[in-house]
Structure 1
């Protein structure tokens, strides 16, 4: 059985105010072509299909087109809900969609009901676990009394292991789990060296470390397809993140974008235990419609240096090192880099006042001198120009006259 593991499509998301749907559509078209080219049997999308719990109509249109293309390429589709999705909205008409080979797993009460696929080695069970919040799980299963995500997923996996064993009888079960969570453990390998690996997406369910899920929770599964982290990572050989198909932050600049192709052979191991063999897993690169680039330097250098030509069609984050922020710097930058979307002023030199306090620095100075000192500080050494000094002098004089008249 050949599976393709993807996640975190985030349909409807913006990149610094710019829609990413056109680029995502191109990537998902390429994914559908890869399904046909590599004879994929099933595509697993491990959560965060949409970027919002209330997606717009255009988001559904994109999803329907992408899923239709994958089905036309010959693969069954299994989608689970993530923390960004509205489970009821995503799962609308799930029963109807299942007749067409599209299986939506959005109800916690049905997390132990697998999608069953068959090959020459028998049945392969695919369990899609919707995003599990402990409170939601307690509502669905009164027997659950835990309070962390790890406890919630351990409870869910116990149900899944029990169901897989019952369906497999005396044979070791072959089953795959899709889960949207923050899984982390010693020995994990992040394939892409990035600044944040997309981890801004984790913060809402991992504060304080209480909601970190260890890979051991998924023991027994032939393969675990994880979603939630936007860069690919391997927790164990059979527990992996595929990452998102697009870059959604500049922190993911160096990360490859794609999906895992997972080949699962004959069953192995003992019932209820770890699989005897690890699936054969390879990486599938997907196209990057627009790269993300960070440029650092003085404005004049960035506008003139030919070595920056590669950034002219990329999303660009600019860190300007000019001592003073040039006027209309972003407009000038966008003249060469039309997709420059963020600008940070970080002067290469800063005035160092040592341990002197502000009160000590202005002691005994006139109001004009204090204004000059303040502006010189916030403008990195640029003192008042003659016209500015005249304006400030007039303003201070008017203020002094008003105070004297009281």
Structure 2
């Protein structure tokens, strides 16, 4: 049995206001090509199909195209709802699509109902269990049959308990679980939505014991947590600068006759690259070594003492796809909270308070010209208060 594991497409997402739909379409096309090249028996999409519960029409159209493209060669497609998806919306046509070997599972109550996929080479079908994202406050009572306050691990164990009960009746079947959750030991990035406050969203690796392969979604970086058996495929594109060093890929999984998985990680190589440049604006705008970043999405960190005028416009002239600008002047020693309170207590006039605030923000006293501008601003504010 050969599987292609992907996840977290987040169709409809933008990058600092720039649409990613064209790049997402290219990623899906590449995934479809790989599925055909490797003659996979099933494509597993482990949640976060869309970026929000009510996706834009263009994202829905792209997902529909993806399903048609992936299933055209007789490949089974099994997808689940993630924490960004509406469980009801994404799975509304699941009963109809199943006739075409397409499963989009959002109903947690059906997690113990496997999709049985027969390998192209023949033999016993593999039982693939689609387990959508679990919301403890909602799914915990539904699975337990009583109003309980459960953590993510507890509600996951309840759902998997039902799956194991079904699997016991299939002694000769290899088993695959598709799940969307945060497994303890995984490495997160800034672009993932927090599931809970604190670490109560973590689910232990031991929870997934007994499955031949566990195809995970939610974390955006590709990573393994129990050798090749329990793993995240990661996103097909980078969705924040925290993913700048990720190699975006899919996992081609070969299940041996005894269920042992062997994995090939295949980079996708699509999407605009990300680049972070640090230095004064003149250097970034003129240095030859930065020329290669012209085609990338750029995060510029300016180290000029003062933020240059029209900095974004000047940078965009060289880097048309610049997405983020930060100003981090060197050796800025900000006053501590207690020091700021002391300065406020000792300030005897608005002028002194304003000067102290300027020094705290800039890490230096105001120049004569800057002090004159501050004084003018205070005088204008006083006149406004007299009206």
- Residue 361 of structure 1, CA deviation: 8.8
Task: Give the Å deviation of 1:360.
Answer: 5.0
The partner residue of 2:220 within 230, 235, 251 is: 230
Counterpart CA distance in 2 for 1:248 and 1:394 is 41
- Report if the CA contact (8 A) 1:33-1:73 is conserved: no
Which structure 1 segments of 5+ residues have no match? 191-196, 268-276
- Cα distance in structure 2, aligned partners of 1:364 and 1:83: 50
Matching of residues 3-402 of structure 1 within 5 Å? 3-119=3-119, 120-143=122-145, 145=148, 147-168=150-171, 171=172, 173-185=173-185, 197-198=188-189, 200-201=191-192, 203-205=194-196, 207-237=197-227, 238-267=229-258, 278-350=260-332, 359-360=342-343, 371-372=354-355, 374-381=357-364, 383-384=366-367, 386=369, 389=372, 392=375, 396=379, 399=382
CA contact (8 A) 1:224 1:239 kept: yes
Which is greater in Rg? 1
Q: Is the 8 A contact 2:334 2:360 kept in 1?
A: no
Number of the residue aligned with 1:273: none
In the TM superposition, residue 200 of structure 1 has moved relative to its aligned partner by 4.5
Deviates more, 1:107-116 or 1:367-376: 367-376
What do residues 355-394 of structure 1 show as CA deviations (whole Å, max 9, x unaligned)?
8656559958776566455445434447355597278359
Q: How many angstroms apart in 2 are the aligned matches of 1:257 and 1:379? A: 39
Equivalenced residues, count: 382
Q: Secondary structure at the match of 1:327?
A: coil
1:59 shift after superposition: 1.3
C-alpha contact 1:114 1:128 (8 A) present in aligned 2: yes
Normalised by the size of structure 2, how large is the TM-score?
Answer: 0.90
SS of residue paired to 1:177: strand
Q: Hey, what's the Cα distance between the residues in 2 that align with 1:305 and 1:23?
A: 29
**2:226, 2:34 → 1: CA distance?**
25
Is the Cα contact below 8 Å between 1:108 and 1:132 reproduced in 2? yes
SS of the residue aligned with 2:182?
coil
1:270: which partner in 2?
none
Distance 2:189 2:10 in 1: 13
2:169 aligned counterpart, secondary structure: helix
> Which secondary structure does the structure 2 equivalent of 1:348 belong to?
coil
**Cα deviations by residue, 1:312-367 (Å, 9 ceiling, x for unpaired):** 11111111111101011111111111111111111013256698656559958776
Cα drift, residue 21 of structure 1 = 1.2
> Alignment RMSD, CA only?
2.8
C-alpha distance in structure 2 between counterparts of 1:346 and 1:23, whole Å: 31
1:302 counterpart SS class? helix
User: Any idea what SS the aligned residue of 1:281 has?
Assistant: strand
Aligned-residue offset at 1:116: 0.4
Distance 2:139 2:357 in 1: 56
> Are the equivalent residues in 2 in contact too, given 1:182–1:202 (CA < 8 A)?
no
**Secondary structure, aligned partner of 1:30:** helix
TM-score, normalising length from structure 1? 0.86
Q: 1:102 to 1:347 in 2, by over 3 A?
A: same
Residue deviations 1:57-111 (CA, integer Å, cap 9, x gap): 2111000111111112442100100111001110121111111121111111111
Residue aligning to 1:271: none
Q: Which runs of 5+ in 2 are unaligned?
A: none
